Structure 1
Amino acid sequence: MRASHISWNLFGLGLPLLIAALTVPHLLAGLGGQRFGLLALAWGLIGYASALDLGIGRATTQRVAALRNGHDEASIADVLTTATRLTLVTGGIGMVLILLAAMLGVGNLVHANEVPQSEVRSAILLLGLALPMQAVSATYRGVNEAYLSFRNISVLRILLGAANFGLPYLISLFTTRVDILIASLVISRALALWFYRVFALQCLPADGRHGTYSRGVARQLFQFGGWFTISSVLSPLLTQADRFLIAAIISAAAVTTYVIPYEVTVQTLILSSAVTTVAFPAISRLLVDDPAGATRLFRLWFVRVIGAMLAGLLLLAAILPELLTLWLGHPADPASVAVGRILCVGVLANAIGSMYFALLHAKGRTRATAMLHLLEVPLYIAALVGLTKAFGVSGAAVAWSLRMSFDAIGMKMLARQAR
């Protein structure tokens, strides 16, 4: 596990944040609260779409990492072919469900009276096209991560991040139609899928890029990814539920009040994300031949990551009013500042939980993490609805931070049991 791999991950995750920082204030000013809120919901749904691979992408990383360096490396092509077919099917099912939801009028559930419903419906239909692309991309990205090929996927992340924020900004200079803005997101995901595939095939030897679908491999992937499916669906769903419930309980404009500090604070997780992305395949490989070394590696990076996150979040909470004022170009909304500071607590807990999450999955303990996430669902939804109704967007932030804290404690307890 090299520091250069983590550096590439940080670069790939961090530079898009800079692009977002430059474009989001202009998008907010140009689109208005409701249209920007709908765009934020689209970003959230596309992020959630990656869960439609049903854990196959994660299982591919774990399986390919274990097969490398003489551990039946010839089977890797079969793993990739099988995983790709599975995720194409699951992503296609997700697309059909979204298309049906759009035709049944799900857009009417969002309070956005300034945006025509026909425009909202078109946007939802377009988003449906992105689902299979995101699902299959997860498989190809998983192969790159298994081979620790972080430079290529980091460059791609930078370009995708630029398109994610830059294209809507450029389009907003000519039109504020939400469906056209979202069409740019779909096109960028199609291009990303193509490049992920190219990079994945480059990792494999020239004579080992053509595999066959294998039911046996499919069973292995589902054995790992079956329980992870629950986590991969529930975790992003719970992460994005606050935005949708705020839109339904309060308004689409209130989503903006919440999303702005949310994006500022949560993006600090790029450090833990950069480390866990590298640690997962590295620990998976070490567990085959050197379990004690895997434990030492985890402990070393856990201390480093959490120490850095704590220091960074304390600083962020202190300067948040000035940072938001500088970023948005006008005095920060006190409600947004309060939301951001509350979320800082949850972000630290999230970083702790994500480290244990990676460790547990490297050990194949996907069932345990899935059961924990199942337990969280009713508790979080009840807290989110109740606290949002009682305290508005600040209540939603408290509910999110409480869930992250509960998750971190649970993950730590599960890791102790897995020794």
Structure 2
Amino acid sequence: MHVRNIFWNLLGLGLPLLIAVVTVPNLIARIGTERFGFLALAWGLIGYAGALDLGVGRAVTQRVSAIRGYAQESDIPDVIATAVKITATIGLAGLVLIALGGVFGGYDLISRNTVSKNEVIVSILLLAVAIPMQAISATYRGVNEAYLNFKSISILRVFLGAANFGGPFLVALYTDKLYWVVATLVLSRSIALIAYRHFAYKCLPERLLVQPGQYKKEQAKKLLEFGGWVTVSSIVSPFLVQADRFFVGALITAAAVTTYVIPYEITVQSMILVGAITTVAFPMISNLINSDPEKAKSVFDKWLVRVVIVMFCAMCVLAFIMPFILNLWVKDYVAPESVMVGRILCLGVFFNAIGAMYYSYLHAHGRTKITAIFHVVELPIFVGLLYVFIGEFGVVGAAVAWSLRVCLDAVLLALASCSRLTSNYF
């Protein structure tokens, strides 16, 4: 696995964090904790929208990686065209559903005191526009990953990270209206879509650009066979990751979301190392499985051990210095419970890192069904844990519920990766 590719991924994931460190405290000061809570929910919804692509984005990475350099390479333009049509269709459907939900009562799901109903409705409508752009972007990002074009992806991630935090901050200098803040997120996604498409087609050899690709039913079938179960994970998994903040908002207040999200972001952003590794490992292992399965397993084992060691040390240090980080970063804008939330989440993030490695390994082998089944099983368990623990312990309970869920996920994925029995049935 090329360290250079991992470096570019780390750069793309890490630089936006520096922007967040600078802008978030000032952003909270200008728009208040309640509006920032709604902004955090908007970030969550945008992230969720990126996964609503029927698993086609990841299927494109797997499919293109598997045939690149082989006789079927001429199918790649058709794979891309087919994937774009599928993701555009599901994205437009998502736009309609979110827009209707926002107009017909969605604005009342989160308790609010200072944010008007109109602000929330307009913001939801704006977010709906971003859904098809996010879905289609997943296809073009998949092409870039299949060709190991991580430099371009990283440049775009830096831009999106800057826009995620810097855009709302710049707007907040002039107005605290939620819809203007959210509009910056939508604008950045439209620019990113154009860039992802440009970089994707630059990856293709000239011989594949002679004739534009066309929608093909056989390609759609192959993508959806892989992506079908990924779809289940794509719908359920983001909910498993983001549901905690929405439950906090619904069961407590939007302001409480800020109390929870700040330590959450500090801890979960440490996953950038794992994200950088799995993004590079997935297309590489997918390609090696065809030519050298033993080497594929060896590459995975080596990086798994490294991730375990690094993340264990990092989470221990982070848990110890959590109060210092919070005091240095946001000072009076979060409640005292945030320290405990952050420390509990450190344990969860460690297990989440292990789970992410096994998740990528299983998908590289095309075993998407088992991961989807695990996520479906975990969903009602997680919802029940959130409802009970938040009701009993507030934001600390949300952290406990999230950490228990990712621990269970890591154990299940590890067992599936090591078990020959599950590979026979899933």
1:328 aligns with 2:330: yes
2:271 & 2:415 partners in 1: Cα distance?
22
1:355-411 CA-to-partner distances (Å, cap 9, x unmatched) read 000000000000000000010011110001100000000000000000000000000
How big is the shift at 1:182?
0.4
Cross-structure match for 2:416: 414
Q: After TM superposition, list the pairs within 5 Å mapping 1:19-418 onto structure 2.
A: 19-209=19-209, 210-330=212-332, 333-418=335-420
| 2:138 partner amino acid | A
Q: 1:331 to 1:113 in 2, by over 3 A?
A: closer
Paired residues of 2:82 and 2:220 also in contact (CA < 8 A): yes
2:179 & 2:262 partners in 1: Cα distance?
22
2:248 & 2:301 partners in 1: Cα distance?
38
How big is the shift at 1:94?
0.5
Paired residues of 2:289 and 2:365 also in contact (CA < 8 A): yes
| 2:244 partner amino acid | D
Structure 1: tracts of 5 or more residues without a match: none
1:66 & 1:345 partners in 2: Cα distance?
36
How big is the shift at 1:417?
2.1
1:72 & 1:216 partners in 2: Cα distance?
13
How big is the shift at 1:331?
8.7
How big is the shift at 1:102?
1.2
1:304-325 CA-to-partner distances (Å, cap 9, x unmatched) read 1111111111000000101111
2:154 & 2:71 partners in 1: Cα distance?
27
2:13 & 2:159 partners in 1: Cα distance?
11
1:323-372 CA-to-partner distances (Å, cap 9, x unmatched) read 11111144963200000000001100100000000000000000000000
How big is the shift at 1:51?
1.2
Paired residues of 1:325 and 1:331 also in contact (CA < 8 A): no
Paired residues of 1:353 and 1:409 also in contact (CA < 8 A): yes
1:4 aligns with 2:4: yes
| 1:190 partner amino acid | S
1:188 & 1:71 partners in 2: Cα distance?
38
1:276 & 1:70 partners in 2: Cα distance?
24
How big is the shift at 1:240?
0.9
1:41 & 1:69 partners in 2: Cα distance?
42
How big is the shift at 1:105?
1.9
1:22-68 CA-to-partner distances (Å, cap 9, x unmatched) read 11111111111110000000000000001111100000000000011
TM-score (norm 1): 0.99
1:119-153 CA-to-partner distances (Å, cap 9, x unmatched) read 10000000000000000000000000000000011
More deviation, 201-210/2-11? 201-210
Structure 2: tracts of 5 or more residues without a match: none
| 1:165 partner amino acid | F
Q: Indicate the SS of the match to 1:110.
A: coil
1:261-282 CA-to-partner distances (Å, cap 9, x unmatched) read 0000000000000000000000
Paired residues of 1:105 and 1:121 also in contact (CA < 8 A): no
1:336 & 1:409 partners in 2: Cα distance?
27
How many pairs are equivalent? 419
Please report the RMSD computed on the Cα atoms of aligned residues, expressed in angstroms.
Answer: 1.0
Paired residues of 1:58 and 1:142 also in contact (CA < 8 A): yes
2:66 & 2:168 partners in 1: Cα distance?
40
Q: Indicate the SS of the match to 1:72.
A: helix
2:151 & 2:275 partners in 1: Cα distance?
15
| 1:278 partner amino acid | V
| 2:146 partner amino acid | A
Paired residues of 2:259 and 2:334 also in contact (CA < 8 A): no
Paired residues of 2:160 and 2:188 also in contact (CA < 8 A): yes
1:91 & 1:206 partners in 2: Cα distance?
30
Percent same amino acid among aligned pairs? 54
1:70 & 1:46 partners in 2: Cα distance?
36
| 1:240 partner amino acid | Q
Q: 1:331 to 1:239 in 2, by over 3 A?
A: closer
| 1:185 partner amino acid | L
| 2:73 partner amino acid | E
How big is the shift at 1:206?
2.6
Q: 1:21 to 1:285 in 2, by over 3 A?
A: same
